[in-house]
Amino acid sequence: MNATFSALAEPNRLQIVELLRHRPLPVGGIAHRLRMRQPQVSKHLRVLSEAGLVQVRPVAQQRIYGLRAEGLKELDDWLEGYRRLWGERFEQLDDVLSDLQQEKGNTNGNRK
Protein backbone atom coordinates (compact mmCIF):
# COMPACT_ATOMS: atom_id res chain seq x y z
CA MET A 1 0.00 0.00 0.00
CA ASN A 2 2.84 2.28 0.88
CA ALA A 3 4.55 1.46 -2.40
CA THR A 4 1.38 2.57 -4.13
CA PHE A 5 1.36 5.98 -2.52
CA SER A 6 5.03 6.67 -3.03
CA ALA A 7 4.75 5.61 -6.64
CA LEU A 8 1.91 8.04 -7.24
CA ALA A 9 3.57 10.79 -5.21
CA GLU A 10 5.94 11.60 -8.05
CA PRO A 11 4.23 14.14 -10.35
CA ASN A 12 5.54 12.63 -13.59
CA ARG A 13 4.55 9.19 -12.48
CA LEU A 14 1.06 10.38 -11.67
CA GLN A 15 0.92 11.93 -15.12
CA ILE A 16 1.89 8.63 -16.68
CA VAL A 17 -0.89 6.85 -14.83
CA GLU A 18 -3.41 9.44 -15.92
CA LEU A 19 -2.20 9.16 -19.46
CA LEU A 20 -2.50 5.39 -19.45
CA ARG A 21 -6.03 5.71 -18.20
CA HIS A 22 -7.13 6.36 -21.75
CA ARG A 23 -5.19 3.62 -23.48
CA PRO A 24 -2.02 1.52 -23.17
CA LEU A 25 1.04 3.02 -24.80
CA PRO A 26 4.62 2.10 -25.67
CA VAL A 27 7.44 3.80 -23.78
CA GLY A 28 8.27 6.11 -26.66
CA GLY A 29 4.66 7.21 -26.97
CA ILE A 30 4.54 8.12 -23.31
CA ALA A 31 7.81 10.02 -23.52
CA HIS A 32 6.63 11.94 -26.55
CA ARG A 33 3.29 12.97 -25.12
CA LEU A 34 4.57 13.96 -21.72
CA ARG A 35 7.67 15.65 -23.11
CA MET A 36 9.92 13.46 -21.05
CA ARG A 37 13.12 11.71 -21.96
CA GLN A 38 12.92 8.01 -22.61
CA PRO A 39 15.27 6.85 -19.83
CA GLN A 40 13.25 8.70 -17.21
CA VAL A 41 10.07 7.19 -18.52
CA SER A 42 11.56 3.72 -18.32
CA LYS A 43 12.66 4.35 -14.75
CA HIS A 44 9.27 5.65 -13.73
CA LEU A 45 7.57 2.72 -15.37
CA ARG A 46 9.81 0.42 -13.41
CA VAL A 47 8.65 1.96 -10.16
CA LEU A 48 5.02 1.87 -11.20
CA SER A 49 5.46 -1.72 -12.24
CA GLU A 50 7.00 -2.74 -8.94
CA ALA A 51 4.10 -1.04 -7.20
CA GLY A 52 1.77 -3.21 -9.26
CA LEU A 53 0.11 -0.23 -10.88
CA VAL A 54 1.18 -1.03 -14.41
CA GLN A 55 1.74 -4.07 -16.59
CA VAL A 56 3.73 -4.71 -19.75
CA ARG A 57 3.12 -6.53 -22.96
CA PRO A 58 6.02 -6.87 -25.40
CA VAL A 59 5.23 -6.31 -29.07
CA ALA A 60 8.27 -6.52 -31.32
CA GLN A 61 10.86 -4.21 -29.82
CA GLN A 62 8.32 -2.09 -28.08
CA ARG A 63 6.81 -2.69 -24.68
CA ILE A 64 3.23 -1.65 -24.29
CA TYR A 65 2.47 -0.38 -20.83
CA GLY A 66 -1.05 -0.29 -19.50
CA LEU A 67 -2.73 0.15 -16.16
CA ARG A 68 -3.10 -2.87 -13.92
CA ALA A 69 -6.57 -3.08 -12.46
CA GLU A 70 -5.61 -4.87 -9.26
CA GLY A 71 -3.13 -2.17 -8.31
CA LEU A 72 -5.73 0.57 -8.36
CA LYS A 73 -8.38 -1.62 -6.83
CA GLU A 74 -6.06 -2.07 -3.90
CA LEU A 75 -6.18 1.68 -3.39
CA ASP A 76 -9.94 1.58 -3.68
CA ASP A 77 -10.14 -1.12 -1.05
CA TRP A 78 -7.96 0.86 1.28
CA LEU A 79 -10.31 3.79 0.97
CA GLU A 80 -13.19 1.57 1.95
CA GLY A 81 -12.33 2.01 5.60
CA TYR A 82 -12.74 5.76 5.28
CA ARG A 83 -15.91 6.07 3.25
CA ARG A 84 -18.05 6.43 6.34
CA LEU A 85 -16.30 9.74 6.94
CA TRP A 86 -18.26 11.77 4.42
CA GLY A 87 -22.01 12.14 4.30
CA GLU A 88 -22.35 11.30 7.96
CA ARG A 89 -22.04 13.50 10.99
CA PHE A 90 -20.30 11.61 13.73
CA GLU A 91 -17.55 12.07 16.28
CA GLN A 92 -19.45 14.42 18.57
CA LEU A 93 -17.69 16.85 20.81
CA ASP A 94 -18.48 14.73 23.84
CA ASP A 95 -16.64 11.78 22.41
CA VAL A 96 -13.55 13.87 21.85
CA LEU A 97 -13.62 15.27 25.35
CA SER A 98 -13.96 11.85 26.92
CA ASP A 99 -11.01 10.69 24.85
CA LEU A 100 -8.96 13.44 26.37
CA GLN A 101 -9.28 11.89 29.78
CA GLN A 102 -7.49 8.81 28.52
CA GLU A 103 -4.56 10.89 27.44
CA LYS A 104 -3.53 11.98 30.91
CA GLY A 105 0.10 11.16 31.44
CA ASN A 106 0.62 9.96 27.91
CA THR A 107 2.04 13.23 26.71
CA ASN A 108 5.14 14.70 25.21
CA GLY A 109 6.26 11.88 23.00
CA ASN A 110 8.26 9.86 25.46
CA ARG A 111 9.14 6.77 23.52
CA LYS A 112 8.34 3.36 24.98
Partner DNA sequence: ACATAATATGCCTTGACAGGAATATTCCTG
Partner DNA sequence: CAGGAATATTCCTGTCAAGGCATATTATGT
The footprint of DNA (CB under 7 A) covers 6, 10-12, 26-29, 36-47, 56, 58, 60-63, 103-104, 107-109
DSSP 3-state of 25? strand
**Residue 101 partner contact from its own copies, DNA, none using kind-dependent CB cut-offs of 5 to 8 Å:** none
Quote the CA–CA distance of 57 and 72 in Å, as a whole number.
18
Select from 49, 50, 75, 101 the one that contacts its own copies (CB under 8 A).
75
32 binds its own copies (CB under 8 A): yes
User: Considering the complex, what minimum distance in angstroms separates the CB of residue 32 from DNA?
Assistant: 9
Select from 35, 58, 94, 101 the one that contacts its own copies (CB under 8 A).
35
Long-range contacts of 21-29 (CB under 8 A, 24+ apart): 21/67, 23/66, 24/57, 24/64, 24/65, 24/66, 24/67, 25/64, 25/65, 25/66, 26/59, 26/62, 26/63, 26/64, 26/65, 27/62, 27/63, 27/65, 28/62
Residues near its own copies (CB under 8 A) are: 1-2, 5-6, 8-9, 11, 14, 21, 23-29, 31-32, 35-39, 41, 57, 59, 62, 64, 66-67, 69-70, 72-73, 75-76, 79, 81-83, 85-86, 91, 95-97, 99-100, 102-103, 106-112
